[in-house]
């Protein structure tokens, strides 16, 4: 009997930002895999079972989920934000590619979610109103010099940048180095948005300039958006500033 495997993005944390499609997929599944804090966000029925695992065991979790689906169960793998953005959907595809017999026969589906970058951008205004790109600053799965080369290329080409996985206890210096590189390329006044735990009770938003931005303004739950040379800040009395990137551009000066 062939089961199903659905990878579900739960959104950044606010239950209102979990899509109806994701809710329906959660209701339909029998077994759940994912990092503990994401599983904790689910309200499951008594006959639905959770299989928690450590955040760094993505491929072994993907294999376990695949095996269970191949045995006929309706398996859901949950991620925060969008399941395809630095998350489980790619790990499952890797597991399917490596296990062609059972992996390619199950019903596999990815249900999208609101990724952290979009929730942070919405809080700040419209910093992603023009071209942007997204970089994970984690050098667990790629060498640091690749990250540096991508930062230089993207900032130099005028993209707004969104950073995921900006800093952790195991990766303490990378964000400071990323700011250093960007200061060589972009004006000091470029806006930098720190969006922490957006949509959760401990949400915190801050806007700095690139000249002032410090790595200790971020932690693992922070998504950082660094503007382009054209990104603007509108100060407002008694309200947080609005940060936006105009929809049109001439030829950027840098
Ligand atoms: N799949 C997730 C990203 C997982 S990578 C998504 O689409 O959002 C983990 C990183 O996501 C964190 O280090 C942080 O940079 C970002 N992140 C996840 N949830 C967040 C939230 N609620 N607020 C701000 N950043 C968040």
CATH node for 4-114: 3.40.1010.10
Residue 101's Cβ-count burial label (10 Å; 0-12, 13-18, 19+) is exposed
Q: Where are the domains of the chain?
A: 4-114, 117-244
pLDDT for res 53? 76
**Torsion, Cα of 49, 54, 56, 57 (10° steps):** -50
Nearest-CA residue for atom 5 of ligand 1: 86
What is the per-residue pLDDT for 52?
Answer: 81
Domain over 117-244 is classified CATH 1.10.10.10: no
Q: What end-to-end distance do the CA atoms of the chain give, in Å?
A: 59
Ligand 1 pocket (Cβ < 6 Å) reads: 12-13, 79-82, 85-87, 115-116, 120, 164-166, 195-200, 220-223
pLDDT of residue 99: 82
Among the atoms of ligand 1, which is closest to the Cα of residue 114?
A: 7
Cα 28 from Cα 32, distance rounded (Å): 11
- Ligand 1 pocket, mutate which of 58, 90, 116 (most atoms under 8 A from CB): 116
pLDDT value of residue 252? 55
What are φ and ψ of residue 86, in 5° steps?
45, 50
pLDDT of residue 80: 97
Per-residue pLDDT of the chain (254 residues; tens, 9 = 90+): 679 999 999 999 999 999 999 999 999 999 999 998 899 999 999 999 999 876 668 889 999 999 999 999 999 999 999 999 999 999 999 999 998 677 788 999 999 999 999 999 999 999 999 999 999 999 999 999 999 999 999 999 999 999 999 999 999 999 999 999 999 999 999 999 999 999 999 999 999 999 999 999 999 999 999 999 999 999 999 999 999 999 998 865 55
State pTM to two decimals.
0.95
């Amino acid at each position: 009997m062939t089961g199903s495997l659905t990878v579900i993005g739960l959104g950044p944390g606010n239950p209102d930002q979990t899509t109806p499609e994701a809710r329906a997929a959660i209701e339909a599944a029998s077994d759940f895999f994912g990092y503990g804090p994401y599983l904790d966000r689910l309200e499951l029925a008594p006959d639905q079972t959770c299989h928690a695992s450590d955040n760094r065991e993505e491929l072994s979790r993907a294999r376990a989920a695949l095996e269970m689906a191949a045995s006929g169960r309706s398996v859901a793998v949950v991620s925060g934000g969008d399941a395809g953005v630095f998350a489980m959907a790619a790990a499952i595809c890797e597991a399917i590619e490596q296990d062609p017999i059972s992996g390619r026969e199950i019903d596999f589906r990815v249900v999208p979610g609101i990724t952290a970058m979009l929730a942070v951008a919405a809080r700040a205004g419209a910093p992603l109103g023009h071209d942007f790109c997204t970089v994970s600053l984690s050098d667990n799965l790629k060498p640091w010099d690749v990250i540096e080369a991508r930062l230089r290329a993207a900032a130099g080409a005028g993209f707004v940048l969104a950073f995921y996985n900006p800093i952790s206890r195991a990766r303490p210096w990378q964000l400071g180095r990323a700011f250093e590189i960007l200061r060589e390329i972009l004006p000091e006044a470029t806006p930098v948005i720190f969006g922490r735990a957006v949509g959760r009770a401990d949400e915190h938003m801050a806007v700095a300039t690139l000249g002032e931005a410090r790595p200790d303004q971020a932690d693992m739950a922070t998504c950082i958006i660094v503007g382009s040379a054209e990104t603007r800040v509108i100060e407002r009395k008694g309200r947080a500033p609005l940060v936006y990137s105009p929809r049109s551009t001439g030829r950027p000066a840098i």
